[in-house]
Amino acid sequence: MKRGFIGLFAGVIASLGVVAHAGESNAYIGVNYMIIEQDSRFVPGDTIDTGETVVRFGGEINEYFSSELRVGMTTASVKDGAAELKNLYSIGGLLRVRKEYGSLTPYLGLGYMWTREELSGAGPLSGEATVADVAAAVGVDISLGENLGLNLEYFALTMKPISDINRTGPSAGVFWRF
C-alpha cells in the first residue's frame, strides 16, 4: 500500500512537469494559511491548534484533473510551559478531481503528505519525528479574473494507522495562474 502512495506522489510530480512544458500552460502557484487542529500525542484525548503556511504549485492535467505539490511550515507553534511543538515542514502531493462552473471550480483531492515535527523543551521527550499518511481535501477555487483567484478548502491528514494523529482544518489563500 505504501508503494502505491509513493507511486501516486511520483505521478503528481511528473504531471507537474508535463503541464509546465505544455504549449498552453495552466499552471498556478498559491499561498494558503491553514488552521490545523491536531490530536495531541502527549496528552491523550486532547487537541492542539497550529497554524501552517502552505505554498501550492499545481497545474491542470485536463478538464477534470489537476495535480498539486504542497510545501508548508508551522507559523504558530504550540507551547505548554517550557515544551514547544511545531511542524518544521510538510511536503506532499494531491491529485484533484475538479470541474469548472464559470468562476467557481470545486474539487476533491487525494494524495500523500509527510510532516516533520519537533518537540523541544520537554527533557527526554524532546526530539524530531517524521509522520506521513494519506491526505484529502475538498475545496473550491474562485477566479477573480484571468490570473488571480481565491482558494477555500478543508484539509484532512489522517495518520491514525501510523502515529495516532489526525490533522484537519480549514484553509484560505490566493493563487496566480500563469
CATH code at position 48: 2.40.160.20
Q: Enter the C-alpha cell of residue 14.
A: 511528473
- Is there a contact between 84 and 106 (Cβ–Cβ < 8 Å)? no
| Residue length of the chain | 178
Domain around 52: 2-177
Angle at 175 between CA 68 and CA 87, to 5 degrees: 60
pLDDT, residue 20, reads 47
Q: What is the pLDDT along the chain (178 residues), one digit of tens a residue?
A: 455 455 555 555 555 554 444 455 689 999 999 988 776 665 566 677 778 899 999 999 889 999 999 999 887 777 777 778 778 888 999 999 999 999 999 999 999 988 888 878 777 778 888 877 888 999 999 999 999 999 999 998 775 554 555 778 899 999 999 8
In this prediction the pTM is: 0.79
CA–CA separation, 178 vs 136, rounded Å? 25
- Is there a contact between 73 and 88 (Cβ–Cβ < 8 Å)? yes
Q: Enter the C-alpha cell of residue 161.
A: 494507522
CA–CA separation, 31 vs 52, rounded Å? 11
Number of compact structural domains in the chain: 1
In the block, residue with C-alpha cell 474562485: 142
